[in-house]
Amino acid sequence: MSMKTVQPTIANLEEGQLLRDANSAIARVGSHVADFMEHYKGRAAGAKGKLTIEVAFEAINAGDENECINIVTSVKESVPPRPKAVRIAFPQKQDDGLQQILMRPLALAPGEDPNQQHLDFTPSHESATAES
């Protein structure tokens, strides 16, 4: 009795799971890049998403009567990282002698958080006295 064989293709590797995974990954990476562009606007210029489908062929027991080839597959997704941002901050000593970092406010684009204009890396020392 002979075993039925077929040529390996993307469509029949992993009984079609590789093809389904690759199609899903294409949709995810494309959607991520589109969301990235919407969120970061002009800062997203040049951002790239990438999908890599790898099919490796590995010789097993070469020259032996049980020789075969392992076919190893993977789908790797790469999405653009958050764009870098540079701001200038200035150290300033507080009344209690602790240092804090202050930034000058920029004109805010719609949707930016105004709370991000003051970065204070010092521990909080709230007064225990209540104000009248």
Query: Rounded to an integer, what distance in angstroms lies between the CA atom of residue 46 and that of residue 3?
Result: 51
70 lies in the same domain as 113: no
In a domain, 25, yes or no: yes
In a domain, 27, yes or no: yes
pTM: 0.60
Q: Which helix (H) or strand (E) holds 34?
A: helix 17-40
94 lies in the same domain as 72: no
Over the stretch 66-122, which tens digit does the pLDDT of each residue have?
899 999 999 999 999 988 877 888 888 888 888 998 887 765 555 555 555 545 565
> Could you say which of 78, 102, 127 is where a domain stops?
78
